[in-house]
Amino acid sequence: MSLLVEYLQAFKHFQRDARLFLISNTLSGVTVGIILVLYNLYLIALGYDTSFVGQLLFVTTLGAGCAIFPAGLCVDRFSGKWIMILGSLAIGIAGAGQFLLHQPLPLLISGFAAGVGGAFILVVNAPFLTHHSTPRERPHLFSVNIVLLQVTTVIGELLGGALPQWIQHYSWLTAWLPSWAESMLAPGAEARAYQLSLLFAGIIAAPSFIPLLLMRDAPPPRPPQQDRATHRPAQRPGLHWRPQALLRSPLTILIAIQVLIGLGAGLFIPYFNIYFVHTLGASPFLFGVIDGGANIVYALLTLLAPLLATALGKINTIVLTRLISLPLLLAIGLIHYLPLVSILYLFRLGTMDMGNGLFQVFSMEAIERKNRGMANSLYQIAYQGASAISTPIGGLLIDQSGYSVVFIGAAILYLCSLLLLWGYFGRGKGERLVTAIRLQEPPHTPQVEQEMQPS
């Protein structure tokens, strides 16, 4: 109860735009969960095979990949409010096309557009929250954002599983539809039930625009001061763009950490459900229950992470909790006993990812304010690209050598990421880096200015 009270008190002190951001994410999270459950099933019900579903997923990923670098440039130069509004509008229009159009080409085009809009939303989140928070608020703010998205997505998944059955069972739910809408509805009762459920998900997301419109239109960070004599950006003391310095820069190290984590995650995470069902003998329903329980534990541990960070520091908390997850991961892959593995699985996700909010905070604070959008783009490219590379490798290794090798390989890659994180930012070096960056940059809000005063 005291933890809940602490977060309620923290929420009251969040800046106005940060609170509006959380409300908007909460309203749209349910929609995300419904779409995750139903959209692929909707495509199959329309008569498409899994190869087309794969093509559509690839095109959507391609759209995100093409847009993620420009998105970082835009985040560093334009208002986060309007980037979120336009990105959400693009996703909404593309989603309408995906739910109402049935032909392959329009589906592929709308999927590409959804990927573009999604890239802008993905990249703007962390820099926006960092810009609209004080250093003291950020651990709680980022943790709350992760938990709200996790909880609302799970609610959406549960609702998405029930909606098509309700629509098919209660015919009066579709009786209100006008006759002219018949031409846009999918043929067949099953496909139509999925389609109407997805359209309902879109309606649920519509109110998420209201908090975005209520935000203040904050200007982008000021550009670096110009040297009057040379008209070039003034150099900060000690900043040298030599190749050796660039390779050891915080941005490069953080990108390398994301690559290692992405490589490890791609090896085994896409195959967890297959591992439980086909190797351990769990039913799909039982795995769903176990996975849901793991998400609940993850949410609770994420809320505890800021408290640990207050006592231990951000980097120490991240390293310690992720280090605890490694023996759990190895036990899951090496012990083929379903009851024990199920218990370990509940805590593996939470201990590995409970520090994600803290890691997002540090990844932003360790970069100068004017470059945070681009940095977040590079982080996403590094993680997603590495995961995409290692996923087929993981499938090949499983076919040839079984599951144990991918769990061991992932644990080694995760351990390397922790050694890199601790080696460059541990023992107080990360905190000193963040402090130096804060002192070099002028505060952009009165709250941040107050936070930066020496105690």
| Residue 276 scores a pLDDT above 90 | no
More confident of the two residues 300 and 412: 412
> Domains in the chain and their CATH numbers?
17-214 (1.20.1250.20), 248-452 (1.20.1250.20)
Separation between Cα atoms, residue 304 and residue 419, nearest integer Å = 23
The number of angstroms, rounded, from the C-alpha of 49 to the middle of its chain's C-alpha atoms is 28
User: Looking at residue 171, what is its pLDDT?
Assistant: 64
User: Looking at residue 454, what is its pLDDT?
Assistant: 34
Please give the torsion angle defined by the CA atoms of residues 274, 280, 281 and 284, in that order, rounded to the nearest 10 degrees. Answer: -40
* Residues 291-308: tens digit of each pLDDT: 878 888 888 899 898 889
Query: For the residues 57-84, what does the mean pLDDT come to?
Result: 83
Q: What is the DSSP-derived secondary structure letter of residue 278?
A: I
Q: Is 220 exposed, middle or buried (0-12, 13-18, 19+ CB in 10 A)?
A: middle
Query: For the residues 207-229, what does the mean pLDDT come to?
Result: 67
More confident of the two residues 183 and 29: 29
* Residues 247-260: tens digit of each pLDDT: 678 899 999 999 99
| Residue 186 scores a pLDDT above 50 | yes
- pLDDT mean across residues, the chain: 82
| Residue 194 scores a pLDDT above 90 | no
Query: For the residues 331-351, what does the mean pLDDT come to?
Result: 92
